Chain A
Amino acid sequence: MASRMAAAADTEVQIITGNQAMALAAKRCRVQVVAAYPITPQSQVTETLSEYVAAGELDAEYVNVESEHSALSVCIGASSVGARAFTATSANGLAYMCEPLHWAAGARLPIVLGCVNRAMAAPWSVLNDQQDSMSQRDAGWIQIFARNNQEIFDTAVQAFKIAQTVSVPVMVCYDGYLLSHTVMPVDVPSQEAVDTFLPPYTPHTILDPADPRNLNQVTLADPRENEKGVLCHGYMELRYLLEEALEQARDTIIAVDEEYAAAFGRSCGGMLWTYRSEDAEVLLVAAGSLASEASVAVDALRADGCKAGVIGVRAYRPFPKQELIEATAPAARVLVFDKSLSYGNEGPICGDVKAALYGSGSHPAVHGYIAGLGGRDVRAAELAEAVRRDAAKGAVAPTEWINCRI
């Protein structure tokens, strides 16, 4: 039972885990269908939601399924008939959703998925890194990282609004155990306040037995007329529109965060957040709780006279290209800390940062670091030490692994 302490008039502070924050956000967003399969460290999200449903606190259909593939497929069906649908998973569970992940995005269904970031097997690990969601970055979903439990709640509420505004599903990513199992204070807005912020979901197309139609039928290479003689898009046009929606989602992500700040007094930063970056000569870039840890390293570096700052990647897809160009403008060096790998290349965020800066006129040295795979602890002191060592590197340097004892 979470503790409830009065804060402002229509909010209360609860000392809760990241998983509880996610479940509570889904409840506040009045999800109508929940389908999930248990997997560590996500299980507490759907356990909590099932308790809400069983207690009559949440008027939702809780669908027990035999796999993650079915969990997301149920959400696809639910969303197609006009219900607000939610699921959550981790690691191999997300991998098992791979096929319906692409389907949900292609069908333009505003499903929200809580991805509690965990290392991929083999070998088995239940502990944290970000390989699971990174490996699904090209599925056509919006991916947003949270850096603490408050941001998990706030981002989840925002995610439902973003998803239904642009008709693209949203994955809310947060670090397993480090956030999912750690309690911290979360300011929880009232049901009435969230109802005012988040309008009901109005589907773009509805699957209705009384009005039969084909949804996502076989689509050929070129546009062709449907049975009513209406010229319809080919596959390529539909893909163009999905990409256009992801690109346009930048404005929506920023606008929804601004609306949220106006309503609740807290901003998550829009596409990215920064910490002491305005005059920074060296910038640390990371996503999720690792970026939060980096802000502690920056305090130590600043105390030693090193002008350091942090860029926290919040939206990973769409990628915050323009914001990165602007935020890195004063820096001579950019260190990117990835909790995952694009094997045979480098950390995925590092590669994306380099690509974003190419041709922008901003040419800091960008150096990649791999940290915290499979639950390996990452301390602020190690990040600060990496920054000090980095000063000796040239413009181009191989990826360095932090605290890898090989």
Chain B
Amino acid sequence: MSYFSSTSPGGICEIRWHGRGGQGAITSAKYLAEAAYRAGFRGVTSQPSFGAERRGAPVTASTRLSPEPLRTFCRVERPDVVIVLDETLLDCADATDGLEDGGWLVVNSPCEPGAIAADGRFSVATADATAVAAECGLVVAGAIMVNTAMLGAVARATGLVELTHIEETLRDKFPEAIATRNIEAARAAFERTRL
């Protein structure tokens, strides 16, 4: 698979998440690691970008997946997959910096993939996670929580995990009623992801 790139030693898939503080990028980076463990990856790590974080400001997180236990904990600089929770970060946070040739850019956007400015080195997938999350009632204190819907889009675009692994992870995290809404969002985003 193209996202197990030659530059990532040992067949490691490296994923970088871009969001704004409060959107849940760090949380979904962890959930993806867990879903991947359920999918059979024995090496999974997830870490926030280290330093100060604040609501609304650009934040990043990373997930590493490997068939074998991981021995590397340094910063992800050449991701195979970049996941963007807020489309405006494509410009202001240089979200595709270092993205490997042949990798995936997965964006929360109502637009078609072709409308996302990209130079053709990598594939683009889009899903309107904001609309999906709103439909599923994932609104906390006025903020639409797009992160679990984006897990569905990531599963669809990259095939790294199955929807069932995400569903099992979410069911483990939340009380039943809330888990069900998040699972609905992940499923709907999976269905409505455009490649």
Contact = CB atoms under 8 A, between A and B. Distances in A.
B38 interface: yes
B9 A293 contact: no
B30 A295 contact: no
Contacts, number: 77
Interface stretch (B16-24, B65-73, B136-144, B150-158): B65-73
A289 B74 CA distance: 9
Interface residues of B, number: 27
A183 B9 contact: no
A226 interface: no
Contact of B74 (A183, A295, A379): A379
Nearest to A372: B74
Interface in A283-305: 289, 292-293, 295-296, 299-300
B75 A296 contact: no
A77 to B, nearest CB: 35
B169 A3 contact: yes
B173 A296 contact: no
12 contacts: A3-B34, A5-B38, A128-B50, A148-B69, A179-B73, A181-B50, A183-B33, A183-B44, A185-B37, A292-B73, A296-B9, A375-B50
Given A3-B173, A5-B37, A15-B34, A289 B44 contact: no
Interface in A146-187: 148, 175, 177-179, 181-185
A13 B74 contact: no
Nearest to A13: B37
B75 A182 contact: no
Nearest to A275: B71
Q: State the majority secondary structure of interface residues on A.
A: mixed
A405 to B, nearest CB: 16
The 10 closest A-B pairs by CB, nearest first: A182-B47, A177-B50, A178-B73, A292-B71, A377-B75, A184-B45, A379-B74, A15-B34, A3-B34, A183-B46
Interface string B145-166: 0000000000000000000000
Interface string A293-323: 1011001100000000000000000000000
Contacts of B72: 292-293, 296, 380
A102 interface: no
B42 interface: yes
B51 interface: yes
